[in-house]
């Protein structure tokens, strides 16, 4: 992987660039999100909590259903004294501190699942110190807890009683493998024992004695897959130089190392990086290079292909991304007949028109009435199973296309930008008001995003009044976008039970009108006006009336367009940053929606910092002199940001 795409942990999580303005509260955004994630783990709930900006599309897919992808960090703790006496079976304060700090650091820097693995020497039986270490690890709500399969049923029962939302990963490393160990009765018995003791997944490992062990482990996989009824997913591979082939072919939670820690000595001969594993899968024709396109009327200069291409290169994925510009959707007709078509990004003005081409769409796309992401399906749809959870859904594999699935990630980009940018003073409450400028498909996505984070009072302004009224009517007559119960509970706690009547979505008829007395002044403003790249010669000469911008605590202003990055409206709001307004431009919105889009296309976690940097670098190539310094400052800001920030 490239240096920019270090799939690991660097010094800090992402805080949007704010220029010379100082907004110290933004530094706590990732802490807020990680704390809420911790609380959800304690209460064993998957409910959305207000401003879950770190969530991505892969979060809806169970870890065990994501083949051939880098899915989790394993926190491995090795005791200095692996076989302690009974008297020493107590965790020292230094060990507790080390575990606590490691969990805190990983939660703060990364949003991927965590596996807690306490290394037990193969020569030692489970002891009180090991068991205490397991229970201490459970206090931090890891997503998975690795438990040695040499532990007895009583130990597994105590773990199950205390694990809450944590899943149990049964682990066994054979210390003395023999010829054809994978076909032995004892190896199969280990899996059955793990199943019997309630493990959610089972990991069986041995050191490869010969190259034939790689064939043996594949036969073992097929044996387990042939079992009838639901059974725990299997992780099985060989270690050592001879075992690397089995490591690559293992589709679930394959161990890889980071390039930064890649030792060119012994480790280089036994371990692989995620990029090496991905490249090997394509070299062995298990996965296939695919073609992806961005389709729109004016997309020849779109930054999206470069952004997604960079992410694929970081992963070692040889997909091709290209723009398809035209006055109709004829390009899509051609693509669906290609066996290597992997997906399409739909741009203006076809986000609603494309609905007639699709066989299935997401609830968000249905609510918004627009699609910006198309994924081909190479199987017949099952009405009882969401397509992204269908076990037949395999990305990176060519073949005849039988259906098209549509989704909308534009609203995710708006939602994340809102949640990244709100100060504690502007935390979303029952009376919070949002303002949307525009009335097209992007405006609908912005309204939907506001509703999803709990903003119930929304005003729309558009030069064509009739279109604004259509958007308002669309959402006021629907009940598909109510915030969930977790949001309601959060707001009730903040307000102490005091409620104001929600206005819903209202239309502002003229910029000369004062702000409506029945609504608070807006603290979240989203502009969806197109830039000059959308068929215009210049950015819209549009400014907001000052009487609409009198919020005493400022707010968050988000602009969808990025051509130019500093529109007249952007400059107007930037001048108000000292009054508490946090300004987000289109170069932030594009990658925020692109992360979810990339994960829909590839089933891989998006390398966020790299995608942000590629957007900035690509834009910089055609930037004006005035914009060059601004882009350079943005790039410097990203130098020490984690790739998998929340």
Task: Find out whether 143 and 113 touch, Cβ atoms under 8 Å.
Answer: yes
CA distance 188 to 180: 12
pLDDT above 90 for 47:
no
CA distance 643 to 646: 9
Please tell me which residue, 27 or 627, carries the higher pLDDT value: 627
Q: What is the pLDDT of residue 380?
A: 84
Handedness of CA 334, 338, 341, 343 (dihedral sign): positive
C-alpha distance from residue 283 to each of 276, 277, 286, 316 (Å): 10, 10, 8, 11
Which residues are bridge partners to 612 per DSSP?
Answer: none
Handedness of CA 502, 507, 511, 516 (dihedral sign): negative
Q: What is the pLDDT of residue 25?
A: 57
Instruction: Find the mean pLDDT for residues 363-391.
Output: 85
Q: What is the pLDDT of residue 555?
A: 95
CA distance 252 to 115: 13
Q: Render pLDDT for 283-330 as a digit per residue (tens, 0 to 9).
A: 999 999 999 999 998 888 899 999 999 999 999 999 999 999 888 898
pLDDT above 80 for 465:
yes
Lowest-pLDDT choice from 39-43, 46-50, 347-351, 477-481: 46-50
Which residues are bridge partners to 360 per DSSP?
Answer: 405
Percent of all residues in the chain with a pLDDT value above 90, rounded to a whole number? 55
The values of phi and psi at residue 602, to 5°, are -115, -20
Q: What is the pLDDT of residue 51?
A: 38
Please tell me which residue, 517 or 111, carries the higher pLDDT value: 517
CA distance 143 to 469: 46
Q: What is the pLDDT of residue 639?
A: 79
pLDDT-derived band at 590 (thresholds 50, 70, 90) equals very high
Domains in the chain, CATH or no CATH each: 39-284 (3.20.20.70), 291-407 (3.40.50.10860), 412-481+499-606 (3.40.50.720)
For residue 155, give the nearest of 171, 173, 174 by alpha carbon: 171
CA distance 128 to 139: 17
Q: Is 603 left (phi over 0), alpha (psi -120 to 50) or beta?
A: left
CA distance 264 to 340: 37
Q: What is the pLDDT of residue 300?
A: 85
SS3 assignment, position 606:
coil
CA distance 321 to 342: 10
CA distance 500 to 119: 55
Q: Render pLDDT for 239-284 as a digit per residue (tens, 0 to 9).
A: 999 999 999 999 999 888 877 655 555 455 567 888 889 999 999 9
Lowest-pLDDT choice from 11-15, 252-256, 461-465, 630-634: 11-15
CA distance 61 to 427: 30
For residue 438, give the nearest of 573, 558, 327 by alpha carbon: 558
The owner of tokens 């490691």 is 102
Q: What is the pLDDT of residue 262?
A: 56
Q: Render pLDDT for 134-185 as a digit per residue (tens, 0 to 9).
A: 999 999 999 999 999 999 999 999 999 998 889 999 999 999 999 999 999 9
For residue 377, give the nearest of 355, 364, 363, 360 by alpha carbon: 360
Q: Is 497 left (phi over 0), alpha (psi -120 to 50) or beta?
A: left
C-alpha distance from residue 260 to each of 110, 158, 210, 395 (Å): 17, 38, 30, 29
Task: Find out whether 558 and 414 touch, Cβ atoms under 8 Å.
Answer: yes
Predicted structure pTM score:
0.85
Mean pLDDT for the chain overall:
84
Q: What string of DSSP letters covers 193-248? A: HHHHTT-SEEEEEEE-SSTHHHHHHHHHHHHHHTSSS----EEEEEESGGGHHHHH
Which residues are bridge partners to 174 per DSSP?
Answer: 206
Task: Find out whether 604 and 317 touch, Cβ atoms under 8 Å.
Answer: yes
Q: Render pLDDT for 537-575 as a digit per residue (tens, 0 to 9).
A: 555 688 999 999 999 999 999 999 888 888 999 999 999
Q: What is the pLDDT of residue 382?
A: 80
Instruction: Find the mean pLDDT for residues 438-451.
Output: 95
Percent of the chain that is helix, strand, coil (3-state, to 5): 40, 15, 45
Task: Find out whether 452 and 488 touch, Cβ atoms under 8 Å.
Answer: no
CA distance 177 to 221: 17
The values of phi and psi at residue 321, to 5°, are -125, 130
pLDDT above 50 for 646:
no
Lowest-pLDDT choice from 181-195, 208-222, 352-366, 479-493: 479-493
Q: How big is the CA angle at 526 (ends 522 and 530), to the nearest 5 degrees?
A: 145
Which residues are bridge partners to 147 per DSSP?
Answer: 170
pLDDT above 90 for 63:
no
Helix axes 128-138, 153-162, angle to 10 degrees: 20
Q: What is the pLDDT of residue 15?
A: 61
Specify the pairing of strand 403-407 against strand 457-461.
unpaired
Q: What is the pLDDT of residue 488?
A: 39
CA distance 577 to 227: 62
Q: Edge-to-edge, what's the strand order for the sheet holding 73-78?
A: 73-78, 114-119, 144-148, 167-174, 201-207, 234-239
CA distance 583 to 49: 24
Instruction: Find the mean pLDDT for residues 445-450.
Output: 96
Q: What is the pLDDT of residue 80?
A: 63
Task: Find out whether 277 and 283 touch, Cβ atoms under 8 Å.
Answer: no
For residue 360, give the nearest of 339, 322, 386, 332 by alpha carbon: 386
Lowest-pLDDT choice from 121-125, 204-208, 278-282: 121-125
């Amino acid at each position: 992987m490239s240096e920019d795409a270090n799939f690991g942990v660097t010094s800090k999580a992402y805080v949007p660039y704010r220029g010379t303005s100082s907004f110290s509260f933004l530094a706590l955004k990732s802490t807020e999100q990680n704390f809420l994630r911790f609380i959800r783990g304690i209460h064993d709930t998957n409910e959305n909590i207000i401003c879950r900006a770190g969530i991505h599309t892969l979060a809806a897919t169970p870890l065990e259903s994501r083949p051939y992808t880098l899915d989790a960090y394993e926190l491995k703790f090795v005791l200095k004294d692996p076989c302690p006496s009974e008297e020493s079976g107590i965790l020292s304060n230094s060990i507790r501190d080390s575990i606590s700090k490691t969990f805190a650091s990983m939660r703060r820097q990364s949003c991927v699942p965590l596996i807690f693995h306490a290394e037990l020497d193969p020569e030692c039986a489970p002891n009180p110190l090991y068991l205490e270490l397991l229970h201490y690890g459970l206090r931090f709500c890891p997503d998975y807890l690795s438990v040695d399969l040499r532990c007895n049923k009583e130990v597994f029962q105590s773990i199950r009683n205390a694990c809450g939302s944590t899943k149990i990963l049964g682990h066994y490393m054979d210390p003395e493998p023999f010829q054809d160990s994978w076909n032995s009765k004892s190896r199969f018995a280990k899996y059955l024992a793990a199943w019997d003791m309630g493990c959610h997944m089972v990991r069986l490992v041995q050191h490869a004695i010969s190259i034939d062990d790689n064939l043996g482990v594949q036969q073992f996989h097929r044996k387990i897959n042939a079992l009838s009824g639901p059974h725990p997913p299997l992780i099985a591979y060989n270690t050592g130089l001879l075992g690397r082939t089995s490591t690559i072919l293992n589709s679930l939670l394959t161990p890889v190392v980071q390039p930064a820690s890649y030792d060119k000595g012994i480790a280089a001969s036994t371990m692989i990086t995620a990029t090496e594993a991905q490249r090997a899968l394509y070299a062995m024709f298990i996965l296939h290079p695919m073609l992806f396109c961005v389709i729109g009327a004016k997309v020849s200069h779109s930054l999206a292909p470069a952004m997604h291409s960079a992410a694929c290169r970081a992963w070692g994925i040889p997909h091709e991304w290209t723009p398809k510009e035209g006055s109709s959707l004829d390009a899509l007709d051609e693509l669906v007949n290609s066996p290597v078509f992997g997906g399409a990004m739909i741009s203006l003005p076809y986000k609603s028109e494309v609905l007639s081409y699709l066989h299935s769409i997401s609830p968000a796309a249905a609510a918004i009435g627009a699609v910006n992401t198309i994924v081909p399906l190479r199987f017949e749809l099952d009405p009882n199973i969401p397509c992204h959870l269908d076990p037949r859904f395999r990305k990176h594999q060519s073949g005849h296309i039988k259906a098209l699935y549509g989704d909308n990630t534009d609203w995710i980009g708006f939602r994340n930008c809102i949640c990244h940018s709100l100060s504690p003073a502007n935390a979303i409450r029952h009376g919070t008001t949002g303002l949307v400028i525009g009335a097209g498909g992007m405006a609908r996505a912005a309204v939907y995003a506001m509703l999803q984070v709990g903003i119930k009072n929304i005003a729309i302004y558009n030069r064509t009044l009739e279109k604004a009224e259509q958007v308002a009517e669309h959402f006021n007559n629907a009940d598909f976008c109510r915030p969930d119960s977790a949001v309601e509970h959060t707001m009730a706690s903040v307000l102490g039970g005091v409620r104001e009547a929600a206005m819903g979505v209202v239309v502002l008829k003229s910029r000369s009108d004062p702000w409506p007395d029945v609504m608070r002044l807006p603290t979240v403003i989203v502009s969806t006006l197109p830039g000059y790249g959308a068929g215009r010669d210049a950015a819209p000469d549009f400014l907001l009336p000052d009487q609409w911008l009198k919020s005493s605590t400022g707010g968050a202003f988000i602009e969808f367009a990025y051509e130019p990055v500093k529109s007249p409206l952007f400059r107007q709001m930037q001048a108000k940053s000292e009054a508490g307004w946090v300004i987000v431009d289109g170069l932030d919105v594009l990658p925020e929606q692109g992360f979810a889009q990339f994960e829909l296309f590839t089933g891989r976690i998006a390398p966020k910092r790299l995608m942000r940097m590629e957007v900035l670098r690509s834009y910089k190539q055609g930037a004006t002199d005035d914009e060059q310094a601004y882009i350079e400052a943005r790039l410097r800001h990203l130098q020490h940001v984690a790739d998998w920030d929340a």
